[in-house]
Amino acid sequence: MIRKSRSGHPDYGLAMLAMHWTTVALMISTCVAVWLVDAVGTREQAAWLVMLHRSLGVTIMLLTPLRFAVRRRTRLPALPADLPAIQRAAARASARLLYVLLMLQPLLGLAASLLHGDRVVLFGAVELPAWLPANRTLAHQLFKLHGWSAVALLTLIGLHASAALYHHFIRRDAVLAGMLPGVTPLTVASGRAVS
């Protein structure tokens, strides 16, 4: 059974909402941590930010399969019936690609760090074993790939957010409202029924 919000439109349920917004918070924190590395004044501060970046990345990597499993077991709200087939296909493809990149991106960074010979300590407490032999040439290539996949992931996230805003402000349907507690579809707010 699909859960309904207080305003009557279907939403994604508490587990999916929690995992979605937790992932958003983790992604923002991961990006901010790595972007600040070059801006801090000491090597200790930079090392702490790198440790935080890696820790949050591994957290995202571990959370993603759980999120995917919950998604597979949850009955999701249907897309609007009048949505063109190409947009339905794009929504399915982008959701799958997001899950792949949320796993691949931290895995590339983790593998590159271990191949580089770095100690990887999560949240300052758990040191991961060096399960890959040092290979700085391969590490350098994986770090480059990690950077390119970051651009791809952030681009896809931007498209995903843009699509949600398109649904809310242009189509005026309940797609965004289903994932954002407290938001009422504009058609409901204006007194028109949601299709």
pLDDT single digits (tens) 101-133: 999 999 999 999 999 999 999 999 999 999 999
Which are the contacts of 55, defined by CB distance < 8 A and separation ≥ 6?
122, 123
180 by Cβ neighbours in 10 Å (0-12 / 13-18 / 19+) ranks as middle
Strand partners, 121: 127
Tokens of 163: 């699509």
pTM, two decimal places: 0.85
pLDDT single digits (tens) 65-102: 999 999 888 878 888 899 999 999 999 999 999 999 99
pLDDT single digits (tens) 49-62: 999 999 999 999 99
Which are the contacts of 36, defined by CB distance < 8 A and separation ≥ 6?
49
